Amino acid sequence: MNNPDILFPSEWSHQYAILLTWPHKSTDWVFILEEVETLYLQLAKEILKRESLIIACADESKIEPIRSALEGFTQYSLEVKHIPSDDTWARDHGPITVYKNGSAELLDFSFNAWGGKFAFDQDNLINKRLKESGVFPQYTFKSINMVMEGGALESNGQGVLLTTSDCLLNPNRNPELSKQEIEKKLSEALGIKQVLWLDNGYLAGDDTDSHIDTLARFCSEDLICYVKCGDQSDEHYDALKKMEQQLKAFTQPNGEPYRLEPLPMTEAIFEDGERLPATYANFLIINNAVLAPVYGVEQDQTALETLQRCFPQHEIVAINCRPLIKQHGSLHCITMQIPSPSLDNIE
């Protein structure tokens, strides 16, 4: 099924940089812009301690203040480019990196804002504009004629992809493609050997049609952490229970089951009567650290301890993501990793 010359690396593989698309006053962040920019600066400083950072900034007047605020925080490079954007969800409009014959290639899939739910014309051009700006000199670049978001794809770095049928098979993405045709295209583009399809699981308030990065994540080649709901009165209980059962039934290519580690479900968090999609699965793995979303609720500590068990060699850094879920996303959703340009350097 797979292309042996192509590898879709795991997120814990060594990274060159993280991409952020900065919030601005023409986005839905306008009502809490100062609050969310403070979060972005905190996130940027944690990234710059460990690797380079690329920022696409639509508001040209913010470029120098951002550089000034981050000055002195890093031995790594910081690039802030004036790039128009509709919104800030870099995980989904950012490039997906694969290794082709050992060298990194940036794949520019089409982005349609989760089935045309929001404006996306500028976001769909961000990757090309970043490439034209010169921030990826060591990477080849390839456009893929298929709608796909990074938050929908979870790789164990060994050819196994974890995803959800609610997202990838939704007719608002690639209605002309069957399940088998989608698997074939993913094999051709990403070198995938096996696709693990989750048919259950969702988060109230989520706009993405159940992105995998809100529900279940690879922590190593054979370990998956996942959101578990223990409250039978919670609306998520049945769907997440079925998701858990399906995860337990999955087997590795060697026939063994995957090791599983449950993450707690946060208590219900509401804004203006609407439940927000808070999830601990939306963490970001960077070089030597895991940036973990927290929400100021009692489950935060259990989630941090669980992630430390999942990543014993990484520092676990808590980031208060309460502002992010007000716009229905979290930490992983606003970031996209750019792995090292050579496969020789990823471990």
Convert 78-102 to b/e letters by CB count within 10 Å (16 or more is b). Answer: bbbbebbbbbbbbbbbbbbbbbbee
pLDDT value of residue 72? 86
pLDDT value of residue 100? 95
Backbone angles phi, psi at 215, to 5 degrees: -125, -50
DSSP 63-99: HHHHHHHHTTS-SS-EEEEE---S---HHHHSPEEEE
The predicted-structure confidence for 6-30, as pLDDT tens digits, reads as follows 999 999 999 999 999 999 999 999 9
Residue 3 pLDDT class (50, 70, 90 cuts): low
The DSSP output letter for 314 is: S
DSSP 202-258: --TT-SSSS-GGGTEEEEETTEEEEEE---TTSTTHHHHHHHHHHHHH-B-TTSPBP
DSSP 281-297: T--EEETTEEEEEE-SS
Residue 179 has pLDDT above 60, yes or no: yes
Residue 4 has pLDDT above 70, yes or no: no
The predicted-structure confidence for 269-304, as pLDDT tens digits, reads as follows 999 999 999 999 999 999 999 999 999 999 999 999
| 29-35 LR contacts (CB < 8 Å, sep 24+) | 29/88, 29/327, 32/323, 32/326, 35/323
Which CATH superfamily, name and number, covers 6-345?
L-arginine/glycine Amidinotransferase; Chain A (3.75.10.10)
Rounded to whole angstroms, how far apart are CA atoms 236 and 249? 20
Residue 264 has pLDDT above 90, yes or no: yes
pLDDT value of residue 67? 96
Rounded to whole angstroms, how far apart are CA atoms 300 and 320? 10
Residue 91 has pLDDT above 80, yes or no: yes
Residue 1 has pLDDT above 80, yes or no: no
The predicted-structure confidence for 48-67, as pLDDT tens digits, reads as follows 999 999 999 999 999 999 99
User: Exposed, middle or buried by CB within 10 Å (0-12, 13-18, 19+), for 297?
Assistant: middle
Residue 2 has pLDDT above 60, yes or no: no
Residue 346 pLDDT class (50, 70, 90 cuts): low
Residue 347 has pLDDT above 60, yes or no: no
The predicted-structure confidence for 300-335, as pLDDT tens digits, reads as follows 999 999 999 999 999 999 999 999 999 999 999 999
The predicted-structure confidence for 72-88, as pLDDT tens digits, reads as follows 887 899 999 999 999 99
The first and second tokens of residue 80, run together, are 């802030």
Coil, strand, or helix at residue 129?
helix
Rounded to whole angstroms, how far apart are CA atoms 2 and 82? 38
Tell which residue, 87, 128, 86, has the closest CA to residue 107.
Answer: 128
Residue 345 pLDDT class (50, 70, 90 cuts): low
User: Exposed, middle or buried by CB within 10 Å (0-12, 13-18, 19+), for 164?
Assistant: buried
The predicted-structure confidence for 123-168, as pLDDT tens digits, reads as follows 999 999 999 999 999 999 999 999 999 999 999 999 999 999 999 9
Angle between helices 63-70 and 33-48 (to 10 degrees): 50
pLDDT value of residue 38? 97
Segments making up each domain of the chain, as ranges? 6-345
> Residue 182 region, left (φ>0) first, then alpha (ψ -120 to 50), else beta?
alpha
8 Å CB contact between 13 and 330: no
- Mean pLDDT, rounded, for 224-237: 97
Going across the sheet that includes 223-228, the strands are 216-220, 223-228, 259-264
Coil, strand, or helix at residue 172?
coil
